[in-house]
Structure 1
Amino acid sequence: MSAMRKIATVVGSSGIGKSKLAVELCKALSGQVINADALQVYKGLDIITNKMPLNEREGIKHHLMDFLETEEEYQVTSFLKDASQKVATIHIESISEEKQLPVVVGGTNYYIQSLLWNNTTIGKQENREASPDEIDSNFPEFDQLETPELYQRLSKVDPVMANKWHPSDRRKILRSLRVFYQTGKPQSEIIKSQRDHYETHGLDPRYKALVFWIYSDPQKLNPRLDARVDQMIETGLFDEIKDLRNQVVQGHVKLPKGFELEKYQRGLWQAIGYKEFDAYFFALEEGNKDPAELEKIKVECTDRMKAATRRYAKSQIKWIKNKLLPTALNAKNNDVIVYCLDAGDLETWDTNVREKAVEIAKLFLMDLPLPDPASLSETASQMLAQLNPVLDTQTKILTWNKHTCETCKTDKGEPLVLNGDQEWEQHKKGRHHRKYLKHLRVEEKRKAYLESKKKEQEEQTTIE
C-alpha cells in the first residue's frame, strides 16, 4: 500500500451537485468533507455562499466551513495549511476505522489544484503569497493609485506579466505587483523557475488522489442554474443582502481597503448576488421609486445574477479543462487520477454519478486496479479526449503575445489591441472584423474604379 495519504476531491461547475456527491461518498466510506470554496468559509450567509443545508449533510462532518468573519480574507496559503491539517487529522482518526476518506469539495479550483500538487502556487517561504495584512501594511500606496499608474509600475518591474494582463485588469495587475514587492522577484521569473522545475523533476503530488469531475453540457446545466437563482431569492437571499448592507452602514462590518477601486473583487464581496442586486437595494434605500419601477429593476438585477452565475460556471469548467486536468494528465506519475462523471440527466444521478464514484473510491482505498477513466461513459470519453497534452500554464504565460489590429480601431481611433493568441484568433473570426475587412475591400475596389475612370477621362481629353 502506498505510503502517501489518500484523498478524494470533487470538482465541477456551480450548481452541478458537488456537495451532494461528497456527502454520498462520505456516507459510503465513513469519510469527512473538507470545504474548498473560498466563500463558504464565512460565518452565516448560507444562501449567498450556497452552503449545503445542515439537514442535507446527513450528519457528515464538514471542515473549513462557517468560521471566518465577514471582513476577513482567506488566502490559498491559509487553505493549504488548514486543509493539510484536516487531512492528517482524518487519517489519524481512521486508524480505528475500517475505512475513512477525506473528501475535498468546492468550487475554488485554484485551492484544490494547489492542495494536490506542490509548487503549483507561489507558496515557498521566499515566494509565499502575502496575507492581506502584510500587503496593506507594506504597500498602502497601492490602494490609492489608479489602475493606469499601477500598470505602468508593473511594466517597469515585470514587463512579461504586464504584457499578459489587460491594462484595465486591476486585480491581476495588483497581484503581480504584490508578488514582486513581497518576494523581490518578478512573478514571471518565479513562474519560469516553476516550469523549469516541472520539466526537470516532474510534478510532486502531495497526496494520492482521485479527482471526480462532475460534468453537464451547458445547455442542460444553464436552466438548472437559473432555477437555482430563483430558489435562492425565494428562500431568503434578499434578507441576507439587506442585513449585510445594514451591517456595513452601521459600521459593524468594515469594507476592505481599496474597496472603491477594487469593488466586489475581494473576500466575501465577490459573492454572486451581492453586487448584482446593488442597483435594486440602492433604489429601495432611496425610497423614491414607484412599485412598477422597483419591480423592473429587480427583474433586471435577477437576470444579471443569472448571467453572472452562468459565466462563473463556464469559467470553472474552463479552469478544469485548461489547467487542472492537463496538469494531471501531463504529470510523470499516476498518483492523481481524474474521472469525469456525467450529470447531464439528474434522473440518472444514482447510476451515472453516485454508484460509479463510490465503486471507484472503494477500489482506490483497497489498492485494487481502477477502471480506465475514458470507459465510464461517452461523455467521459469525449471530455477527456479533448485534453491532449497542451502548452502548460507556465509556458503560456511566458510566451504570451499581444496583437495589434491595424484594421479595426477603438472609439478613440487607435489601433485595437488584443490580449493573447486566443483573443486574436477570435477577433479575426469575428463578425465585426470580417465585415470591416469586406468594407475595406469594397472601398479599395471603388477607389480603383474611380481612379481608372479618371485616367480614362484624362486620356480622352489628351486625344481630343
Structure 2
Amino acid sequence: MKKILVIVGPTAVGKTDISIDVAKALDTEIISCDSVQIYKRLDIGSAKPTIDEMQGVKHHLIDFVEPDQNYSVSEYRQDAQAVISKLHAQGKIPVITGGTGLYVNALLYEMHFGENASDETYRQSLESKAELEGNNAVHDLLKQVDLQASEKIHPNNIRRVIRALEINKVTGKNVGDFTLDPVRTKAYEVVLIGLTRERSKLYDRINRRVDLMLEAGLIEEVEKLKKSGLDDSFQSMQGIGYKEVLAYLNGLYDLDAMISLLKQNSRRYAKRQMTWFKRYEEIQWIDLETFSSKEAVVKTILSTI
C-alpha cells in the first residue's frame, strides 16, 4: 500500500525545518496541514515558510485562499487527497506537516462530509471554535441542545461532537442512533510522527516566536488586513496572532497586554494540540531535546518509513 508521512506537533516545536529536510531526503513534496497558512497575506502570524526557507521543496496548500473566503475541512481533505494521488502516481511519498488536528483527522479517517443533514457554514464555525477555544467549549454547546448525546460523546471526540450539533441544527432532532464513529482510511498507509519538546523549552520557543513575529511586522501585517476590510467576523482573522493584534488595533488592549495575551493563547493552543495528537495510538513520538543534531532527527524519521 502506498504511504504518506505525517509530521505533527505543537506550534513552534520545529516541524517546518525538519519536514523540509525529510522531504529533501525523500525527493518529494510537502503538503501543509495548517488552517491559517492557507490564506494569502497572512504570512508573519501564520509562520508561513518563506521561499528561502523552503529550500526548493515544493509546498502545497499554503497561500492559496483569499482571506475573505471560508475554507472547510472537507475542502482541505479533497484538495490534499488530490495532491497525495498526484505524488503517489510519481512514485513519491507525500510529507504532510502541520498542527491543525482537524486537518489531520480528515486524512486519517473516512469522514463522510455532506451527508443528508449538512450546514457547511455552521460546521466551519464549530471547527474554528474548537481550534481556538478548545474542545470543551464546543462540547458545552452540545450539552445545551442534546444532553444525552453530550453524555455519550467525549469532548475530545470533536468530530462526533460537531456532527451531533450539525444534525441537531439542521433537523431539529437529537443525534439518537446515528452512526458517527469514524473509519480509518484504506486509501494509503499512514506513518504518523509526533514532534515534542520539554514543556518549559517549548514555551520559551513560543514566547520567542511571538517576539520575532512582532519584530518582523505582525502588527503592520494585521493593519493592512484590517484596512482591506477584514475584521474578526472572518474565519481567517480568528487565528491566534491575528485576533489578538486586531483587538489591540481596535483599542481593546494596550500593547503590553496584547503581547502577554498572544503568548498565553499560543501556549494554551500548544497544550491543546498535544492533547489532540496524543489520542492517536499509532503516533511515534520524537522528543527533539534528546537529539544532538537535526540530522539525527531526520535519520530517525526516515527509518520509520
Give the alignment's TM-score, normalised by structure 2.
0.82
Q: How does 1:131-142 map to 2 (within 5 A)?
A: 131-132=120-121
After superposition, the Cα gap between the structure-2 partners of 1:126 and 1:185, relative to the gap in structure 1 and judged at 3 Å, is farther
Which amino acid in 1 is paired with 2:260? D
Deviation at 1:122, TM superposition (A): 4.7
Deviation at 1:133, TM superposition (A): 8.9
Q: Give the whole-Å Cα distance in 2 for the aligned partners of 1:92 and 1:152.
A: 42
Q: What residue is the counterpart of 2:301 in the other structure?
A: 357
Contact persistence 1:154–1:176 (CA under 8 A): no
Which amino acid in 1 is paired with 2:287? D
Q: What residue is the counterpart of 1:53 in the other structure?
A: 50
After superposition, the Cα gap between the structure-2 partners of 1:122 and 1:270, relative to the gap in structure 1 and judged at 3 Å, is farther
Contact persistence 2:143–2:150 (CA under 8 A): no
1:5 lines up with 2:2 in the alignment? yes
Superposed CA RMSD in Å reads 3.2
Which amino acid in 1 is paired with 2:235? G
Q: What residue is the counterpart of 2:257 in the other structure?
A: 300
Q: Secondary structure at the match of 2:293?
A: helix
Deviation at 1:103, TM superposition (A): 0.6
Contact persistence 2:5–2:96 (CA under 8 A): yes
Q: What residue is the counterpart of 2:272 in the other structure?
A: 315
Deviation at 1:114, TM superposition (A): 2.3
After superposition, the Cα gap between the structure-2 partners of 1:92 and 1:206, relative to the gap in structure 1 and judged at 3 Å, is closer
Q: Deviations over 1:315-349 (max 9, x none)?
A: 0000011x3x13x4xxxxxxxxx321111267533
Contact persistence 1:154–1:173 (CA under 8 A): no
Q: What residue is the counterpart of 2:289 in the other structure?
A: 344
- 5+ long unaligned stretches in structure 2: 126-139, 154-159
- 5+ long unaligned stretches in structure 1: 95-99, 137-149, 166-171, 260-265, 285-295, 329-337, 365-464
Percent identity between matched residues is 28
Q: Deviations over 1:7-26 (max 9, x none)?
A: 10000000011111221111
CA radius of gyration, larger in: 1
Give the alignment's TM-score, normalised by structure 1.
0.55
1:234 lines up with 2:224 in the alignment? no
Q: Deviations over 1:76-105 (max 9, x none)?
A: 1111111111100111223xxxxx210111
Q: Give the whole-Å Cα distance in 2 for the aligned partners of 1:229 and 1:126.
A: 43
Q: Give the whole-Å Cα distance in 2 for the aligned partners of 1:124 and 1:182.
A: 12
Q: Give the whole-Å Cα distance in 1 for the aligned partners of 2:19 and 2:9.
A: 12
Contact persistence 1:8–1:102 (CA under 8 A): yes
Q: Give the whole-Å Cα distance in 2 for the aligned partners of 1:134 and 1:279.
A: 25
Deviation at 1:181, TM superposition (A): 3.8
Q: Give the whole-Å Cα distance in 2 for the aligned partners of 1:24 and 1:204.
A: 27
Q: What residue is the counterpart of 1:271 in the other structure?
A: 239
Q: How does 1:143-222 map to 2 (within 5 A)?
A: 155=145, 158-161=146-149, 176-182=164-170, 186-187=174-175, 189-190=177-178, 193-195=179-181, 203-222=184-203
Deviation at 1:185, TM superposition (A): 6.2
Q: Give the whole-Å Cα distance in 2 for the aligned partners of 1:152 and 1:235.
A: 41
Q: Give the whole-Å Cα distance in 2 for the aligned partners of 1:246 and 1:222.
A: 32
Q: What residue is the counterpart of 1:106 in the other structure?
A: 98
Contact persistence 1:42–1:70 (CA under 8 A): yes
Deviation at 1:117, TM superposition (A): 2.3
Contact persistence 1:135–1:178 (CA under 8 A): no
Q: Secondary structure at the match of 2:242?
A: coil
